[in-house]
Structure 1
Amino acid sequence: MKHIEGTLAFTQTQMTTDAVQALEAAEEEIAGLLTLIREIPGINLQLLEESQAAWEEFSERDATLFASFAEGGSLHPMRTAEWRLALAEERAEKGLVGSPILTGLSGVMNLPSLLTSIAQRIPRNSFAISLDCPSHAFQAAFRILPS
């Protein structure tokens, strides 16, 4: 098996750097989703901001707990970033794009049009949105493929 130089982290420093960079990318994705969601008519902006602030506090505290076994060691920053990354990915997928934010709007606006509008504004890379709203008997899925 041939190793391609620079593709794998071999030091703790590089593993931590990679974890932090992945976390930063996920946080940028959340910021972009929040920007889109703020523009949706009918969104209670105060509740959205309170929810995001509470989630951010939870994310930091939960990651601190998760990484506490490595406190003071070289693994601590990496484990903290990895756990926050997992939480951020879940927040983006389920908490912002998923039903808690958008299902309540289905009676207020045309949900398929809303999702199409959001999907068109997401950068052209592989991205999927799926929404399951059993109470409204509505399901939608979008996939934007690289151009």
Structure 2
Amino acid sequence: MVMAWRFGAVGVDAVMDVIQDGARFAEWMVAVPPEVRAGPNWPRKGSVVQRYDGREPRMRHAENRHLTVALVERWRPEDDLVLRLRSGLGGWVRIWIRVQSRPGGALIEVHAEPITATARLRFTGSARGAAEERCAQVAERLIELATTQED
């Protein structure tokens, strides 16, 4: 498991508002394709983010698991999101995002843990530093987007 945290002069509510906006998922989540769309119940447990090519899915292809980018495992609107994210090399990674109130702002913790063997390759040896950097980038992007939202 890898972890990074960042402190920002933003409120917890502003950060959680950014997370709740499914249309902004690709803006703050690192290493996902920009053409994604969150399901209508985002970010409730069981909701998904899928690649989106501009066409509406029909009939039996309404939900294609191969197009799924992320799946929400837990959502607490006051401070916590846990999701399963498809790794760029294949496999799945579990991401925890916790937002805590601190004097003058919010502390954002991002933890990542590989679930499948193929994803574990991104968390060993020299690749571990890159995984930690991706966690830090998620926190930084959330702070940046929450800051612009508060203005």
| TM-score between both structures, scaled by the size of structure 2 | 0.30
Q: Who wins on radius of gyration, i.e. which is larger?
A: 1
| TM-score between both structures, scaled by the size of structure 1 | 0.30
| Structure in which a larger fraction of residues adopt strand | 2
Of structures 1 and 2, the one scoring higher in RCO (CA 8 A, sep 6+) is: 2
